[in-house]
Amino acid sequence: MHDDRKLVEARLERVLRERIRPAVHPVTTPLAVEIWSTDGEPVSVAEGLAAPTSPIAAGTPWGAPWGTSWFKVTGAVPVEWTGRTVEAVLDLGFTPRTPGFQCEGLVYGPDGTPVKGLHPRNNYVRVGAPAAGGEQVHWRIEAASNPDLDASGVPFQPTPMGDKATAGNAPQYVLGEMRLAVFDETVWNLVMDLEVLGELMAELPVDGARRWEILRAVDRALDAVDLQDVNGTAAAARSELAGVLSAPAETSAHRISAVGHAHIDSAWLWPLRETVRKVARTTSNMTQLLEEEAEFVFAMSQAQQFAWIKEHRPEVYARVKKAVADGRFVPTGGMWVESDTNMPGSEAMARQFVYGKRFFLEEFGIENDEAWLPDTFGFAAGLPQIIKAAGSTRLLTQKISWSKTNNFPHHTFNWEGIDGTRIFTHFPPVDSYNCEMTGRQIAHAAKNFKEKGAATRSLAPTGYGDGGGGATREMVAKASRMRSLQGAASVEWETPKEFFGKAEAEYPNPPVWVGELYLELHRATLTSQAQTKRGNRRSESLLTEAELWAATAAARTEFPYPYEELDRIWKTVLLHQFHDILPGSSIAWVHREARETYARLAKDLEDIIAGAQRALAGDPSGGSELVFNSAPHNRRSVPACGASAAAADDSGVVPAAREGGGYLLDNGLLRVEIDERGLVVSAYDRTADREAVAPGRAAGLLQLHPDFPNQWDAWDVDAFYRNVGSDLTEVADLRVEGGSVRVERTFGESRVVQHLSVPADTKRLDIDTEVDWHETEKFLKLAFPLDVKADRYASETQFGHAYRPTHQNTSWEWAKFEACNHRFVHVDEPGWGVAVVNDATYGHDVTRTSDTTTVRASMLRAPRYPDPETDQGVHRFHHALVPGATIGVAVREGYRANLPERTVTGSVKAVAPLVDVDNDAVVVSAVKLADDRSGDLVVRLYEAHGGRARATVRIDGFAAEHAVLTDLLERPLADAEPPAQTGDGLALALRPFQMVTLRLPRS
């Protein structure tokens, strides 16, 4: 037989495009359309429904950037259509782009009831099945004219459209046709048949019989279609395909659990307020699809998004709650948002699960067993313990498939964190969290699955996401055809819980991956939008202080614990840890609002802290100066988590002139030499007789690199940035200012001022940097070349620290050329080490020579997409170099830099710590009152040094008869032995990096 394969495939493509798909709606009639546009922000539904409208015709431009228009659509079903299926096809001016990145709409009935959302792949509204002739159609459409930031077709181009303040008023869209149409279900099913078979056929081996069986059936079906009467011959064409569609899947076929899904970014190329509407549009569609399709299951994560529709669209939320109760709309993930997991601090990462799981429990009575993070940019090594402590045991993500250097070796495995906790983890081999149920995607999942021979199952998150949309009736139809279809994987709609249960049962001993799940991409998200990152770090620190002092004051005085305020603030901070806000990859509007929000939160938290400390300090006329220490370590004679009136002098040493130029800072423990260029050429540890700075090098050195990645400007920094760079050694001004050495430099269009100082009694060099940054596509680093030979280094992560190699023996090591730390990086040789501490930077790199190690903190970038003004303006940073530091010192100095002391005048002489721990290796991360408002005290601690530790925890001034171990939601652990009572307090024995939560019921 002659090879006519390409001929038939080309025929299929054209006949589908030009004849069969258009015949789905064989008869149409126009609808009358009118419009009203708001001048400002979106209005309420009631106002939109009542607004006066004026006629608008197809072809008319509409919609200013980020504007809202209300369309009134009216008409009547023609009498001759009686008994037929009728739907409206409503085109707002959609472009070929996928949903979520252009105009969108939500259709309302005359009474304001939400009907369904509109986007380019889901632009119909069913009128009747069957319809009644003369039936009146009267809808309002709330249409968002969100600009397409990539409308030029060239990705990652700078654009002013990312902020309403700079986007202008030019209309973004041209209204398309709005018509009533007869829906021919037979033709639509023929389209689904042909698409499934055509897509499957393209994935099958050319030398296999199945491909040719499908080809011949398709050829016969196309012969059966009368191109002048598609609707009259569609049934005959379908009959030609029935045989190949009914051939069952092989018993060895890969099994795919399809989960309806719409990964909606809580902010990205749109502001937070628009996400509220995206969620409403998507969930309106999904609840309707659940009613129409009996097998369909839809899962949605992010408790914040449920809370938004509860607050802003209660009618939609009522439909969601009903679907949840029916078991087919599944809250999943158990987090407040799908957050970044690299940068959130220990408590913030824990609270993501606390607030998310509590919302789902309170609203739906559901507790999730899985963390759901399909799009997060890598996973910190401390996360497994947090997931398990929240009562979950599983994780799903897809993002690691984006790695550019190494192909991750597993799709299903156990992930082990720094404390030894293991979490059953799945990466969908479909390699998409927006699966469309195409034959190519399903075939790829089966071919790609790395656990063949040991496991048979994977999951496919199915639906349009990022900007919302969810699954469509076409995706459901394709999945039903592939439930058992020869040559394809077997597809079945299942909940995440059902998938994980079956996957674990068939694969009881999966391979183990130890340590972080590093994404070999998007490394620059650790640095972009420095003010957003500072706002996050500062908010986390202020929340630590606010909870500590409010709990202490509530236990000791009449101070009312601010439950509602802290709850509101925590939720706002958690929201801004979403994986496109904290990482700095959103539009200008998002980050402008984030800066404003963080400023408000800081004021609110400062008020809580001040009120609690005033209550503890007593009468301000008493004249005693109390120094409050929020850190979990004693310092300057002030107890950890307490206050003292007798604190040591914290003034620094006075700089002295240095022979040859520059200055000398020497406190008897540490001698620092700053040369005439304002660079640190020596940091000498007198007690250890060791030099910290690498020979012939200078520390505190600012280095500037060009920064123009191949794509994903705000997200990526590519390895070649290191090929070119300049040391900023020219000094504009060098002088003593107070107790510090002031260094001023200018470069490009920017200016930097550094203050270098050494405290009187600590081996620490403090470097405070102010940068007035006006560079474009540049990367600013702060370098510390150290005289330490280290094959690995430690960087702080949640509830501990993780080690990374300094060498690049393998491609896995080479790929980690930019990584995340929290408050410190530590390098050492046996017996002596150095810490580099920060108060708000996360990105860093560590390199080595044969006998030295260089640590560089990443300070600023200047990408132009999606925010063309990223990081322009004034920034402040604090770093510290700590020679002779052990890991314990690094931990202590990290807390010191982030939890500064506060001085309050009062009548008491001291405030004893509410919680005291007798071992510095056991760190208190939270002291608070229980979230259930019982008045119980909750204390969270963890082993911070990486070894076994015993400690006694003493509670002072809080009447409690006993303590229980709890999970993160402050629920007693069923099988946990209560901590032993000793004469001094509670005795704890902790494993390396173990985190525990203690609850002490109020007597």
Instruction: List residues with catalytic annotation.
Output: 375
- Pair 759, 766: CB distance under 8 Å: yes
> What's 494-554 look like in SS3?
CCHHHHHHHHHHHCCCCCEEECCECCCCCHHHHCCCHHHHHHHHHHHHHHHHHHHHHHHHH
Q: What is the CA radius of gyration of the chain?
A: 31
SS3 385: helix
Buried b (16+ CB within 10 A) or exposed e, 944-968: bbbeebebbbbbeebebeebbbbbb
Asked if residue 582 lies in contact with residue 532, where contact means CB atoms within 8 angstroms, the answer is yes
**Cβ pair 140, 70 in contact under 8 A:** yes
Angle at CA of residue 613, ends 610 and 616, nearest 5°: 150
The residue written with tokens 């056929």 in the block is: 201
Buried-state track 621-634, b at ≥16 Cβ within 10 A, e below 16 = eeebebbbbbbbbb
Spatial neighbors of 513 by CB under 8 A, at least 6 apart, are: 410, 413, 414, 415, 416, 425
**DSSP state string for 185-245:** HHHHHHHHHHHHHHHHHHHS-TTSHHHHHHHHHHHHHHHH--TT-HHHHHHHHHHHHHHHH
Alpha helices in 313-452 (DSSP H): 314-325, 346-364, 383-389, 439-448
Tracing tokens 């979230």 back to the chain, one arrives at: 931
The gap from C-alpha 511 to its chain's centroid, in whole angstroms, comes to 27
As given in the structure block, the two tokens for residue 584 are 């700095």
What DSSP assignment string belongs to 929-960?
Answer: E-TTSS--EEEEEEE-SSS-EEEEEEE-S--B
Question: Taken in order 605, 608, 612, 617, is the CA torsion positive or negative?
Answer: positive
Ramachandran assignment for 487, one of left (phi > 0), alpha (psi -120 to 50 degrees), beta (any other): left
Cis amide bond preceding 130, omega within 30: yes
Question: How far is the C-alpha of 338 from the C-alpha of 306, rounded, in Å?
Answer: 13
**DSSP for residue 645:** S
CB count in 10 Å sphere of residue 943? 26
